[in-house]
Structure 1
Amino acid sequence: MAIVKRDEGKKVNSNINVTPMVDVMLVLLIIFMVITPMLNNKVNVDLARSKNAVAMDDASKEDAVTVAVTRDNKIYLNKDQTTLADLGGKVNDLLQNKTSKIVYFRADARSHYGTVEDAVDAVRTAGVDEVGLLTEQRTPDTKPPTGGQ
């Protein structure tokens, strides 16, 4: 008969297993990496292209006032949809306490020129000093879009 010796004096492993915590953190990181590009705060428009575009760095600032005219001629002030009649008053309210009264326009290349012109007139009537028309740099092989509405 064999006598089995018990190891009752063996120490318990007191290390914390961090593998599940690391797994959860990596999953959260992946989720944030996937969702962050979707959190675009701009209205989606296809900007017109220009050969001689000038960089307007102030247009990408958080407090920049932008008016977007979409392909279906809807008007957005920053990211809120508005009407042409309300545009001037809302722009005036936004620029009340600002020293530089600049409004940037992001007009879709296929939007009606008349709608963009009316929006510029409404903004100018509100007392805006400068208007910036945002475009994309045209590469030599790209052509202007055709088939406007």
Structure 2
Amino acid sequence: MAFRAAGNSGPLAEINVTPLVDVMLVLLIIFIVTAPMISMPIPVDLPQRTTAVTPPLDPPPPIELRVDAANQVTWNGQSMPVAALQARMQEQAQTHAGNLPELRIATDPGTEYEVMAKILAAANNAHLQRIAFVQ
């Protein structure tokens, strides 16, 4: 902080460098922290150019699961036990390997959470990625 003499009332010509030093120290710390991150390469898988045109695949029909209040599961209108869902979903995933079907789940308000958890775990294990909850 600059002080003036009691008898001198002219302008003060000294520059206060304290804020400048503070900013420079902060920038120095930022550069010290970020410099090692810049020197390490980050692998990025970029898409490769192809000349072959692949025709779009028709989407397979969706799988419609219905769970009623008694926790009975129906697969496209056919009754099925919850334990058999895993095998059936894996069969569908293998049948439509390049284009997985959409799983549409409809439930009653009285459905138990445990049944839904088993259905979602079976879908995850079968690698079904498109899951929709419908009414």
Tell me the TM-score normalised to structure 2 length.
0.49
Determine which structure has greater relative contact order: mean sequence separation of CA pairs < 8 Å that are 6+ residues apart, divided by chain length. Answer: 1
User: TM-score of the superposition, structure 1-length normalised?
Assistant: 0.45
Which entry has the higher C-alpha Rg, 1 or 2? 2
